[in-house]
Structure 1
Amino acid sequence: MTSRQFSIETIGIVGTGAMGRGIAQIAALSGLSVRLYDTNPEAVGAARDYLADTFAKLAAKGKLEPARVTAALACVTGAAAIADLAGCDLVVEAIVEKLDVKRTLFRELETVVGGNCVLASNTSSLSITSIAAGCQDPSRVVGFHFFNPVPLMKVVEVIDGLRGDPAAGDALMNLARRMGHTPVRAKDMPGFIVNHAGRGMNTEGLRVAGEGVASFVDIDRIMREQAGFRLGPFELLDLTALDVSHPVMESIYHQFYEEPRFTPSPITGTRLAGGLIGRKTGEGFYQYIDGKQQVEAEAAAPTELPKRVWISNRYPEAREAVLQIVAKSGVTLDEGATPAADSLIVVTPFGHDATTATVDENLDASRVVAIDALFPLAGAQRRTLMTTPATTRAARDAGHALFASDNVPVTVIRDSTGFVAQRVVATIVNIGCDIAQKQIASPLDIDLAVTLGLGYPRGPLALGDALGAKAILTILRNIFSVLEDPRYRPSPWLARRAQLGLPLTQTDAADADETGANTNAKDPR
């Protein structure tokens, strides 16, 4: 295939909903000529009025100079018919997510635009190769996936179809930078990067809730305050709304031919059917009054400390972290090889549930509590405590009092492989590793896409490196050993790098560039 030269100065946008308007906004502000088309003629005028109002508000806040507002509005014109898009260097469709509708549009566009006009789809879930298959010239069809709201979400995925001309994708990468966005390049695979990587948080959070391990509120608190995410899985699902996110979960699951890692949950299907969609309807996993999330305050922690504590030495580093808390609390440490009859027993499993940890060390299950030590216990904003099915109320409350004795909130959950944060984070890292393993995108682009597109504190690969690839591998293998569920099988990318002591952000050494530098991804924060 001979690559062409694509120069983009005039953009046609088909579809003037939220996505089309957002793309038009950033394009006009970058000085590009924009032609808006919609099958509803009134929608074009409404979109232009919306842009004028948005620009005026930005100018009133001092974020735009009046002269720039005037220039940007002058860049935007309406198109009464598809034929009016002739002369465009790029046409972006932001219409309904139906393959046949998009194919019909692109076939019509081919009869109108010139041979060097790029045809781009803003699809979030459909195959670019499938869309392009309806065209006479599929080489110029590219995915150009923005996120809502476009002006604020500063990342865009550029997706190459199997018959795509790399030069067309290159042109969109350059255009995205001109419009002030960070482009990431992806192969045409279900979910591309962001929606693919996002399965870890949502599907695993739903899995934890579905097992009755913890409530929606507690899972969100753990993921925010212990694991450091801006939003927990259920807050995120309420924000995106189930009428959007549930079909995406089902679509990706089926497009990957029922891959266990992406198995949807009946929880979202049932809630969607019941109209509990999220923030925009006032009720989802939470209720919203005047847009404010309603959450009951946590109950006060118990205050009666245990008389003495015995701590497992299965994971020495975790034991040292627990010892620091015990020392501050003033509770007597039981230093015997086995627990005394009146000691609270603390275990620190990685991936295993409290029951397995108890049986492995032949402990008295009625006195066992497990603490999640994957994240630092000292200086924590929250800790997670787990009980066995046999743990007594007295032992549970004593453990709660101990780990809250320095005024750190403690969430107590039922027995679970990998607690909450361990299993969710390990799943996020594992899926990110699989995206790298399949060469859907580079390690750098994977982490960039996830931090910018999902707002995670780190990308999945950088997160795995921060917590330790060996620790993540241990968690996944131990979860798998208990549940025998293939969703927890470790990615080869993770397993090999953990065994060799290499960063997850590092590509194969043989893929280093000619200067010998490796294309390691850096934490993009």
Structure 2
Amino acid sequence: MTALSKDNIVAVIGAGAMGAGIAQVAAQAGHPVRLFDAKEGAAERGRAGILAGLDRLVERGRLDAGAREAIAGRLVVAEALDDLQGASLVIEAIIENLDVKRKVFAALEGIVGSETILATNTSSLSVTAIATGLDHPGRVAGLHFFNPAPVMKLVEIVSGLASDRGALDTLFDTALAWGKAAVRTTSTPGFIVNRVARPFYAEGLRLLEEGAADAATIDAILREAGGFRMGPFELMDLIGHDVNYAVTRSVFDAYFGDPRFRPSLTQQELVAAGWLGRKSGRGFYDYGTDAEKPAPADAPPGPRPDRVVVEGDLGPAEPLAAALQSAGIPLRREPGEGRIRIDGATLAPGDGRTATSRVAEGEAVDLVLFDLALDYASAARIAVAKADQAPAGALSAAAGLLQSIGKAVSVVDDVPGLVVLRTLAMLANEGAEAVLQRVASAADIDRAMTLGVNYPRGPLAWADAEGAARILRALEAMQAAYGDDRYRASQQLRRCVAAGRRLLPAETG
């Protein structure tokens, strides 16, 4: 193991929320820490903020008072950049400006020893570009923490073209020693998390723009059916639309306008209006003192079915059949292609095509599609959409069936891919593309998405559970429906399906 020893000095440049958080992590891990900020008084305020946070931990019984004093003693404010000499690791956490970062690293080369590792916490800039022009670019690497650094487990270890393997290994092992979960990634736009997460926001925005459902309903579907901790609109409001939109623009521009990362005009308008989310008091939701968050739209109560016929295997949706039996509804199994038939409606799992197009291709005229769920047994909500040709009563019948087993039902417009299936397909596709381009391993991608943005399951493992072939068919159907290269399937996904391989190799979980 090549982790830094606890007597090695760690220096942090930048005493804002992120820099102070990183300094706290290093100090709590036992290192002497030097905290520097070029802005007068900022480092002192950063240290004071850290100590105030530690005091709250002591008050809650989560930190011993003696440990608090030891951490405080290790945390020292540096008055000038020259005070960082002797540091074994310098972590830069300043403004996301390439020229400013380059100047800081160039100055550090004249101050610290030749063996000192220089790490950047950048979330969007090229590590390769930051190191360009230095005498020793090999010691520069990315050490990307997530906010708040003392709480979030994930750290991305980012390699630029010139980064030395030894420096990367030391950063990786040091992050582990600090109690973090480290993943390795190359210096490509967005690294792992900020790249692979783009579709979560982008598809929510597109669904809203197409009138599939309102923001509160889409959020509820992704929480209560998809298992995500937050829906895309409440999460963008939390992050701040200025920040989220800037990251999307950065990734889109860096990939030369690839339509997979196309920004949203809706979010651009929010930024232009200053409706940045929680921090401005308004975004997709109103955060005023007396404002109430809109409730998701629920389908009105439908009739409880007298009997149900399940044709064929429902695949991951089989728990629905078991729940219907447990609810005392007479159920008969027949051969078929995975359908639930009741009086007035035929229910089928979504496959990327619209219900309207499936009826046109010969399916039952009363077709109602139901969306994907992370776990149909525990999902509190299921989204449904009916074919344009279907009678109005088909939705009521379908809603009544799902309500009879305790599910809230959200009716969405008949859009390609519905909501959860569409989101998963795009996340898994982006993860597969990142594997293809050697951004990171499949295991590190899934680990990063569960730890960095709290996804309920890694998108590659989830796609494997649903069946990679189903994900591929959904993407192909969406691309055909929209005629948009945004939905093109990754060659990595195609190769895995053709070879019968998992997207996430079995030995990695």
**Would the TM-score normalized by the shorter structure come out above 0.5?**
yes
Higher mean displacement: 322-331 or 226-235: 322-331
Seen in structure 2, the aligned counterparts of structure 1 residues 363 and 65 have a Cα distance that, compared at 3 Å, is: closer
Report SS of the residue matched to 1:120.
Answer: strand
User: In the alignment, does 2:376 pair up with 1:359?
Assistant: no
User: In the alignment, does 2:497 pair up with 1:498?
Assistant: yes
How do 1:138-153 residues align onto structure 2 when only pairs under 5 Å count? Answer: 138-153=137-152
Give me the whole-angstrom Cα distance separating, in 2, the residues matched to 1:236 and 1:50.
26
Shift of 1:389: 3.3
Q: What residue number does 1:59 align with?
A: 58
Give me the whole-angstrom Cα distance separating, in 2, the residues matched to 1:158 and 1:377.
36
Give me the whole-angstrom Cα distance separating, in 1, the residues matched to 2:340 and 2:147.
55
Report SS of the residue matched to 1:208.
Answer: helix
Seen in structure 2, the aligned counterparts of structure 1 residues 106 and 237 have a Cα distance that, compared at 3 Å, is: same
Contact 1:37–1:79 under 8 Å retained in 2: yes
Q: Report the residue type matching 1:361 in the other structure.
A: G
Seen in structure 2, the aligned counterparts of structure 1 residues 28 and 325 have a Cα distance that, compared at 3 Å, is: closer
Give me the whole-angstrom Cα distance separating, in 1, the residues matched to 2:290 and 2:138.
45
Shift of 1:156: 0.7
Shift of 1:379: 4.7
Give me the whole-angstrom Cα distance separating, in 1, the residues matched to 2:72 and 2:372.
55
Shift of 1:432: 0.8
Q: What residue number does 1:521 align with?
A: 508
Report SS of the residue matched to 2:10.
Answer: strand
Seen in structure 2, the aligned counterparts of structure 1 residues 65 and 461 have a Cα distance that, compared at 3 Å, is: same
Seen in structure 2, the aligned counterparts of structure 1 residues 195 and 373 have a Cα distance that, compared at 3 Å, is: closer
Q: Report the residue type matching 2:64 in the other structure.
A: E
Q: What residue number does 2:178 align with?
A: 179
Shift of 1:334: 13
Report SS of the residue matched to 2:279.
Answer: helix
Contact 2:4–2:174 under 8 Å retained in 1: no
Contact 1:433–1:460 under 8 Å retained in 2: no
Contact 2:351–2:473 under 8 Å retained in 1: yes
User: In the alignment, does 2:91 pair up with 1:104?
Assistant: no
Seen in structure 2, the aligned counterparts of structure 1 residues 292 and 120 have a Cα distance that, compared at 3 Å, is: farther
Report SS of the residue matched to 1:11.
Answer: strand
Q: Report the residue type matching 2:353 in the other structure.
A: H
User: In the alignment, does 2:103 pair up with 1:116?
Assistant: no
Contact 1:329–1:405 under 8 Å retained in 2: no
How do 1:97-246 residues align onto structure 2 when only pairs under 5 Å count? Answer: 97-246=96-245
Seen in structure 2, the aligned counterparts of structure 1 residues 26 and 326 have a Cα distance that, compared at 3 Å, is: closer
Q: Report the residue type matching 1:271 in the other structure.
A: L
Give me the whole-angstrom Cα distance separating, in 2, the residues matched to 1:173 and 1:293.
45
Give me the whole-angstrom Cα distance separating, in 2, the residues matched to 1:134 and 1:244.
29
Seen in structure 2, the aligned counterparts of structure 1 residues 370 and 288 have a Cα distance that, compared at 3 Å, is: same
How do 1:342-421 residues align onto structure 2 when only pairs under 5 Å count? Answer: 343-361=344-362, 363-364=364-365, 367-372=366-371, 377-421=376-420
Contact 1:6–1:168 under 8 Å retained in 2: no
Query: C-alpha offsets along residues 25-48 of structure 1, whole Å, 9 cap, x if unaligned?
Result: 011111111111111231111112
Report SS of the residue matched to 2:57.
Answer: helix
User: In the alignment, does 2:429 pair up with 1:442?
Assistant: no
Identity of aligned residues (%): 38
Q: What residue number does 1:256 align with?
A: 255
Shift of 1:299: 4.7
Q: Report the residue type matching 1:90 in the other structure.
A: L
Report SS of the residue matched to 2:410.
Answer: strand
Give me the whole-angstrom Cα distance separating, in 2, the residues matched to 1:164 and 1:260.
30
Shift of 1:478: 2.1
Contact 2:373–2:382 under 8 Å retained in 1: no
Give me the whole-angstrom Cα distance separating, in 2, the residues matched to 1:420 and 1:389.
18
Shift of 1:294: 1.7
Q: Report the residue type matching 1:228 in the other structure.
A: G
Give me the whole-angstrom Cα distance separating, in 1, the residues matched to 2:238 and 2:113.
40
Give me the whole-angstrom Cα distance separating, in 2, the residues matched to 1:207 and 1:433.
22
Give me the whole-angstrom Cα distance separating, in 1, the residues matched to 2:434 and 2:214.
30
Higher mean displacement: 346-355 or 425-434: 346-355
Give me the whole-angstrom Cα distance separating, in 1, the residues matched to 2:447 and 2:318.
35
Give me the whole-angstrom Cα distance separating, in 2, the residues matched to 1:28 and 1:320.
51
Shift of 1:307: 8.3
Query: C-alpha offsets along residues 279-298 of structure 1, whole Å, 9 cap, x if unaligned?
Result: 22222222235699723365
Seen in structure 2, the aligned counterparts of structure 1 residues 140 and 332 have a Cα distance that, compared at 3 Å, is: closer
Contact 2:226–2:374 under 8 Å retained in 1: yes
Shift of 1:149: 0.4
Higher mean displacement: 43-52 or 11-20: 43-52
Give me the whole-angstrom Cα distance separating, in 2, the residues matched to 1:216 and 1:145.
31
**Which sections of structure 1, spanning at least 5 residues, go unmatched?**
507-517
RMSD between superposed Cα atoms in Å: 3.0
Seen in structure 2, the aligned counterparts of structure 1 residues 466 and 317 have a Cα distance that, compared at 3 Å, is: closer
Q: What residue number does 2:483 align with?
A: 484
Normalising by structure 1, report the TM-score: 0.88
Seen in structure 2, the aligned counterparts of structure 1 residues 345 and 178 have a Cα distance that, compared at 3 Å, is: closer
Give me the whole-angstrom Cα distance separating, in 1, the residues matched to 2:317 and 2:171.
52
Give me the whole-angstrom Cα distance separating, in 1, the residues matched to 2:63 and 2:93.
26
Q: Report the residue type matching 1:354 in the other structure.
A: A
Report SS of the residue matched to 2:221.
Answer: helix
User: In the alignment, does 2:472 pair up with 1:473?
Assistant: yes
Aligned length: 504
Shift of 1:405: 2.4
Query: C-alpha offsets along residues 253-299 of structure 1, whole Å, 9 cap, x if unaligned?
Result: 11111112111111111111112211222222222356997233655
Shift of 1:112: 1.2
Query: C-alpha offsets along residues 455-499 of structure 1, whole Å, 9 cap, x if unaligned?
Result: 011112111122222221221122223223222222222222223
Report SS of the residue matched to 1:279.
Answer: coil
Q: What residue number does 1:427 align with?
A: 426
Contact 2:208–2:215 under 8 Å retained in 1: yes
Higher mean displacement: 150-159 or 482-491: 482-491
